[in-house]
Chain A
Amino acid sequence: MFDFPENLQIGISGPIDSAVKWMLVHWDGFFDGISNFVLIIFDAIQGALGILPWWLILIGIFFAGYKLYNLKTGIMLTLMLFAIGLFGLWDLMIYTLVIVIISVLVSIVLGIPMGILMAKFETFKKINLPILDAMQTMPSFVYLLPAVMFFGFGKVPAVIATTTYALPPLIRLTYLGISNVNKEILEAGKSFGSTTKQMLFKIEFPQALSTIMTGINQTTMMAMAMVVISSMIGAEGIGEQVLIAIRRLEIGSGFEAGLAIVFLAIVLDRILQGIANKLKETE
Chain B
Amino acid sequence: MASKIEIKNLTLVFGKKKERALEMIDQGVPIKEIRETTGLAVGVNNISLEIEEGELFVIVGLSGSGKSSLIRCMNMLNKPTRGEILIDGENICDYNKKQLIDIRRHKISMVFQHFGLLNHRSVLKNVEYGLEVQGISEAEREKKSLEAIEMVGLAGWEKYFPRQLSGGMKQRVGLARALANDAEILLMDEPFSALDPLIRKEMQTDLLGMTDYIDKTIIFITHDMNEAFKLGDRAALMRDGEIVQIGKPRDFFDHPADDYVRNFIEDVDKSRILRVKTVMRKPVCLAKPIDNREDVIKHLEEKEREFCYVTDDNNKLLGYVELEKLKESKDTTVEQLIDTEYQDINRNSFLSEIWSKLDESDYDVAVTDKSNRIRGVISYEDVVGALS
A residues apposed to B, CB below 8 Å? 182, 184-185, 187-195, 198, 202-203, 206-207, 209, 282-283
Contact = CB atoms under 8 A, between A and B. Distances in A.
B133 A190 contact: no
A192 B163 contact: no
Given A192-B105, A195-B101, A195-B133, A282 B118 contact: no
Chain A CB within 10 A, most for which of B72, B101, B112, B116:
B116
Contacts of B103: 193
Given A191-B77, A195-B101, A195-B133, A282 B109 contact: no
B104 A282 contact: no
Contact of A192 (B109, B115, B117): B109
Of all A-B residue pairs in the complex, the 9 with the closest CB atoms, nearest first, are A188-B116, A193-B105, A193-B104, A192-B130, A191-B110, A184-B116, A193-B101, A206-B120, A283-B119
A1 B257 CA distance: 84
B77 A190 contact: yes
B368 interface: no
Given A207-B120, A283-B120, 13 more contacts: A187-B72, A187-B112, A188-B110, A188-B118, A191-B104, A191-B108, A191-B110, A192-B129, A192-B181, A194-B133, A198-B133, A202-B118, A209-B120
The bracket for how many chain B residues form the interface is: 20 to 34
A191 B107 CA distance: 11
Contacts of A193: 100-106, 130, 133-134
Contacts of B379: none
A188 B75 CA distance: 11
A184 B103 CA distance: 19
Identify which of B101, B113, B115, B120 gathers the most chain A CB atoms within 10 Å of its CB: B120
Interface of B: 72, 75, 77, 100-106, 108-110, 112-120, 129-130, 132-134, 161, 163, 177, 181, 187
Nearest to B121: A206
A190 B115 CA distance: 14
Contacts of B181: 192
Contacts of A282: 119-120, 161, 163
Contacts of B132: 202
B77 A187 contact: yes
Contacts of B105: 192-193
5 contacts: A182-B116, A188-B110, A191-B75, A193-B102, A282-B161
| Main SS at interface, chain A | helix
Nearest to A194: B133
Nearest to A206: B120
Nearest to B72: A187
Contacts of B120: 206-207, 209, 282-283
B133 A192 contact: yes
Given A209-B120, A282-B120, A283-B119, A188 B133 contact: no
Nearest to B132: A202
A195 to B, nearest CB: 6
Nearest to A279: B120
Interface centre among A188, A190, A207, A209 (most CB of B within 10 A): A188
Contacts of B77: 187, 190-191
A185 B104 CA distance: 15
A190 B109 CA distance: 10
A191 B101 CA distance: 8
A202 B161 CA distance: 16
Nearest to B107: A193
B186 to A, nearest CB: 11
Contacts of B117: 185, 188
Nearest to A209: B120
A253 to B, nearest CB: 48
B110 to A, nearest CB: 4
Contacts of A283: 119-120, 163
Contacts of B116: 182, 184-185, 187-188
B112 A188 contact: yes
Task: Give the residue among A190, A198, A207, A283 with the most B Cβ atoms within 10 A.
Answer: A190
Contact of B113 (A184, A198, A209): A184
Contacts of B118: 185, 188-189, 202-203, 206-207
Contacts of B109: 191-192
Contacts of A182: 114, 116
Contacts of A207: 118-120
A191 B75 CA distance: 7
Contacts of A185: 116-118
Contacts of B75: 191
B328 to A, nearest CB: 60
Most chain A CB within 10 A, of B118, B134, B177, is at B118
Nearest to B75: A191
Contacts of A203: 118
Nearest to B130: A192
B29 to A, nearest CB: 30
A202 B121 CA distance: 10
Contacts of B114: 182, 184
Nearest to A191: B110
Contacts of B102: 193
